[in-house]
């Protein structure tokens, strides 16, 4: 049987190999294999009986894209292409953020230095419309733009006749709308040449002193004169730099009739000692009398947690503050109280050092993680870490509960002052220095301006919260702080995290910075919620810092380490202000920062004006009440002028104003300093109060070997008498409702600046 099967198998015809066949189809390329398959399929199909012609084959399309990659066995090429597309998306995002940063800086510059009334969310259409209007074009709401038609010649009014020579020409005061603002730091270098263009009044030497009542005045422009042929008295060098800068404060603005902005003075913390005793009641009364003479509306007093609850938990001693508030009641001054939950004097302020409560420091010896910690493990005892807000590590209480108990004790102790209305507002300390920020710039750790600071999130409680956030995001390996963020005194370009196109804008960087900033927001939200329970019906104030160094970089590194996620492609203050709006909080913006020279600020790419504009406008758009405070004593008029421009912005179409302004008193008042700055401060307060103010500045020039006297007048004034003695010049100035005598003796008198005002404010300065 088997032999028969073998014979039958041998007798069966074997298939003949066709031309072009290969031993294996795998050896053929894909195109040959596809063509061969189509040929075989065509041979198997029956011929069409209705046609004797063969149907032509359609040309095969060349495989492309993913099919070609698969056909060529390019799995790695597909992965590589996908990676390139992801990189291109990231590069596109970075280019868009860079473009938005440039646009933001351009808009800020137009608003600050060009006084363009651009909306907060302006686009390029708004910019083009503003530039067209500035050039004299007419831009309608629908975008139609055209030049105004020229008026007929007959309708043009005739030019007024020139004034008679006996009429005093007005002093050409630069408009406040000019982009060359006197207070702009970029224009300080050219201010001397601009301010020296005053009109000179030449007094004929043949006139007798008794005939000066009918003095004849001729005006001439210094700008057209050549200094080489002019008298030395006409050169700006004969007038000190300080005198030239004073002119802007005296003549640039008149705040008569403006809204009333209250002014408060901060009392030094040294009036209460560590045992909560009033140190020198009589000195306090003397200081309050001085403030009352300046028409100060009220004072700000800090109630320190380290003093009131300094020795034992839940044992509050308010005796010293009760005595101080009783004295304040005698002077009828309003009172703002600061709930200070931080230490004082730790950052070189020169004020009396006040630590956290002693029992808290004892807990910190055993559990150092209750304090903020940097990457190197150094502890900062300036304030408690926000990681213990819900951890019962303070004798059975959380960080939030100790703050609530402190505020509730204050409300119970001074309930009578709340009913009388003596206490007008309560400021809540929300972080380092009482400001809403991380303690990322500690001088005790070696920080110096303009260092970027360090992240303060390395205690075990903050690290625990970071792990929970990373786990919820699905990336547990993100539960770490950045390892390339530099140190306290680094520059942004020296780090891999804060440099341009650095890790701060990566997926991990945005996650970490969002968590870091959200922790700050959550802490303030919880504190303010309990504050409204403990101090119901009282105005609540939160202090916002001014971190303006490295503001002109893309990352805003100093703001990031302080807890404000505010790079150029994101508004880091809007979310904070929305939370504060929920609690009806008034923000107090620190309008000054660390003392630094113009060169240091330029090297630090600082921009205090742009930061102030962003913070104030974002707060006003959020519907918040805004106040301001100076962090340092302000003995110079330029600072007063800048504060006035912030308090009463004259170009704001919405007419925003500060709710109040807080002035930091000098730490060690000296009688000479007080006499020197008393008039400046008095004048500043009257401007804040909107009282009438007229200033006149006269330079009486008498160079050696000349009998002629040149007077530089800054507005209309009547000269009644000038007496020229051997080595002295006495000037008597008469102004409506004012009579002032000033005299100075000197071997060579070059300049006597006299600043006169109406009885609402009197100021005399001799140079």
- Tell me the C-alpha distance between 409 and 437, whole Å: 26
Which residues, at least 6 apart from 414, have a Cβ–Cβ distance to it below 8 Å? Answer: 318, 321, 322, 325, 423
Lowest-confidence range among 211-215, 242-246, 482-486, 646-650? 211-215
pLDDT 10s digits, 605-617: 999 989 999 999 9
On whether the CB atoms of residues 110 and 179 are closer than 8 A, the answer is no
Task: Give pLDDT, residue 35.
Answer: 66
pLDDT 10s digits, 745-762: 333 333 344 434 333 333
* pLDDT at 498 exceeding the cut of 90: yes
Most confident of 111-125, 546-560, 627-641: 546-560
* pLDDT at 177 exceeding the cut of 50: no
The burial class, CB within 10 Å (0-12 / 13-18 / 19+), for 632 is middle
Task: Give pLDDT, residue 606.
Answer: 92
Structure pTM?
A: 0.63
CA distances from 342 to 39, 345, 433, 702, 721 (A): 88, 10, 6, 57, 60
Structure tokens at 725: 């003695």
Upper half-sphere CA count for residue 389 (Cβ side, 13 Å):
18
On whether the CB atoms of residues 707 and 726 are closer than 8 A, the answer is no
pLDDT 10s digits, 89-132: 877 877 777 777 787 778 777 877 776 777 767 777 888 888 88
Lowest-confidence range among 34-43, 483-492, 507-516, 557-566? 34-43
- Tell me the C-alpha distance between 674 and 620, whole Å: 36
DSSP-derived 3-state class of residue 642: helix
- Tell me the C-alpha distance between 617 and 215, whole Å: 51
* pLDDT at 201 exceeding the cut of 50: no
Bridge partners of 278, per DSSP, are 272
């Amino acid at each position: 049987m088997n032999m028969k099967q073998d014979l039958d198998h041998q007798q069966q015809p074997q298939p003949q190999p066709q031309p072009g066949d290969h031993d294996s189809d795998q050896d053929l390329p894909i195109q040959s294999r596809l063509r061969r398959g189509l040929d075989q399929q065509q041979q198997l199909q029956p011929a069409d009986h209705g046609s004797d012609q063969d149907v032509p084959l359609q040309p095969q399309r060349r495989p492309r894209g993913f099919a070609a990659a698969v056909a060529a066995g390019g799995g790695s090429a597909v992965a590589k292409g996908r990676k390139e597309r992801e990189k291109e998306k990231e590069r596109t995002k970075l280019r868009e953020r860079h473009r938005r940063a440039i646009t933001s800086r351009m808009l800020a510059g137009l608003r600050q230095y060009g006084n363009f009334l651009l909306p907060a969310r302006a686009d390029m259409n708004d910019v083009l419309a503003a530039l067209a209007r500035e050039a004299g074009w007419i831009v309608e709401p629908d975008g139609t733009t055209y030049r105004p038609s020229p008026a007929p010649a007959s309708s043009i009014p005739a030019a007024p006749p020139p004034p008679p020579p006996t009429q005093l020409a007005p002093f050409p005061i630069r408009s406040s709308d000019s982009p060359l603002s006197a207070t702009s730091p970029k224009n300080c270098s050219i201010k001397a040449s601009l301010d020296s263009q005053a009109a000179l009044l030449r007094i004929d030497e043949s006139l007798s002193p008794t005939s000066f009542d009918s003095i004849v005045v001729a005006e001439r422009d210094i700008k057209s004169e050549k200094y080489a042929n002019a008298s030395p008295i006409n050169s700006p060098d004969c007038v000190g730099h300080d005198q030239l800068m004073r002119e802007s404060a005296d003549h640039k603005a008149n705040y008569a009739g403006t809204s009333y902005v209250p002014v408060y003075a901060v009392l030094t913390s040294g009036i209460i000692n560590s045992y909560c005793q009033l140190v020198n009641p009589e000195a306090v009364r003397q200081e309050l009398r001085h403030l009352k003479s300046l028409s100060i509306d009220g004072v700000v007093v800090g109630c320190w947690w380290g003093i009131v609850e300094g020795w034992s938990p839940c044992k509050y001693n308010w005796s010293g503050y009760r005595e101080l508030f009783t004295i304040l009641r005698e002077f009828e001054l309003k009172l703002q109280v600061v709930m200070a939950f931080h230490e004082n004097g730790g950052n070189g302020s020169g004020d009396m050092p006040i630590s956290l409560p002693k029992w808290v420091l004892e807990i910190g010896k055993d559990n150092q993680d209750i304090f903020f910690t940097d990457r190197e493990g150094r502890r900062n005892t300036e304030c408690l870490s926000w990681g213990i807000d819900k951890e019962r590590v303070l004798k059975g209480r959380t960080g939030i509960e100790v703050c609530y108990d402190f505020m509730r004790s204050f409300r119970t102790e001074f309930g009578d002052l709340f009913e009388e209305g003596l206490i007008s507002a309560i400021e809540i300390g929300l972080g380092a220095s009482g400001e809403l920020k991380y303690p990322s710039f500690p001088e005790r750790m070696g920080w110096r301006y303009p260092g970027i600071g360090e992240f303060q999130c390395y205690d075990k409680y903050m690290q625990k919260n970071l792990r929970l956030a990373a786990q919820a995001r699905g990336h547990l390996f993100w539960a770490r702080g950045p390892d390339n963020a530099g140190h306290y005194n680094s520059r942004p370009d020296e780090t891999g995290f804060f440099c341009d196109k650095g890790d701060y804008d990566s997926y991990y960087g945005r996650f970490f910075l969002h968590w870091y900033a959200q922790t700050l927001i959550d802490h303030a939200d919880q504190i303010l919620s309990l504050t409204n329970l403990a101090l119901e019906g009282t105005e609540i104030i939160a202090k916002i810092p001014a971190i303006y160094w490295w503001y002109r970089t893309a990352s805003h590194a100093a703001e990031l380490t302080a807890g404000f996620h505010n790079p150029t492609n994101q508004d880091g203050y809007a979310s904070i202000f929305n939370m504060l709006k929920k609690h009806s909080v008034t923000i107090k913006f620190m309008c000054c920062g660390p003392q630094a020279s113009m060169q240091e600020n330029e090297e630090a790419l600082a921009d205090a004006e742009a930061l102030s504009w962003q913070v104030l406008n974002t707060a006003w758009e959020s519907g918040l009440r805004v106040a301001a405070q100076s962090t340092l004593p302000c003995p110079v008029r330029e600072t007063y002028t800048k504060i006035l421009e912030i308090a009463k912005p004259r170009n704001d179409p919405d007419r925003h104003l500060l709710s109040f302004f807080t002035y930091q008193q000098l730490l060690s008042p000296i009688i000479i300093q007080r006499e020197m700055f008393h008039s400046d401060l008095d004048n500043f307060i009257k401007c804040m109060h909107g009282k009438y103010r007229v200033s006149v500045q006269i330079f009486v020039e008498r160079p050696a070997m000349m009998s002629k006297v040149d007077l530089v007048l800054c507005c209309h004034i009547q000269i009644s008498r000038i007496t020229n003695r051997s080595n002295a010049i006495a000037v008597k100035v008469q102004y409506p409702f004012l009579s002032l005598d000033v005299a100075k003796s000197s071997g060579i008198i070059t300049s006597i600046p006299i600043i006169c005002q109406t009885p609402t404010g009197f100021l005399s300065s001799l140079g």
